[in-house]
Amino acid sequence: MEAKYKNKSVEIWEISKTNEQPDWVKQAFKENYLSWYDDRLKILLTGINPTAKRNIKLGIMNGILSVGQGFGGTYAMGDIGDFLDITNGRVISKKYFKKHYYIKIDDE
């Protein structure tokens, strides 16, 4: 679904095992960029909708490894009810989402 964050359009998905999944989420599961660990979602951020700018921001350009990263890239964990902001490459809480994002209406 699309939302607005800091006056910019972003693509988000509310993490859930039961709600509708957009095509990019289905593809990410198929390519193992998303995987469930009980009720937590493991997310390979660099595999989903990667951009050089975002990868630099995440600190993984040119094979730099740090805590929280593996040989495949940077992972994040999300809980059911959190939101995956794929445009900015981050997981956000429902509380943060309600305060800083808003859902776009079709004619916006």
Give tens-digit pLDDT for 41-100: 999 877 776 554 444 444 544 444 444 444 455 788 999 999 999 888 889 999 999 999
- In a domain? residue 105: no
Q: For 12-16, what is the mean pLDDT?
A: 95
Q: Note the pLDDT of residue 63.
A: 46
State how many domains the chain has: 1
Instruction: Provide the pLDDT for residue 69.
Output: 46
Dist. CA 107–CA 87, nearest whole Å = 21
**Distance between CA 83 and CA 91 in Å, rounded?**
6
Give, as one character, the DSSP assignment of residue 21. -
Is there a domain that residue 77 lies in?
Answer: yes
Domain membership of residue 21 (yes or no) is: yes
3-class DSSP state of 45: helix
Tokens of 102: 């808003």
Is residue 29, in this structure, part of any structural domain at all? yes
Average pLDDT, rounded, for the chain = 80
Contacts of 90 (CB under 8 A, 6+ apart): 45, 76, 84
**Token output for 52:** 């050089």
Instruction: Give the SS3 label for residue 99.
Output: helix
> Which whole number is the average pLDDT over 5-11?
92
- Residue numbers of the domain that contains 85: 2-98
pLDDT of residue 108 exceeding 60, the answer is no
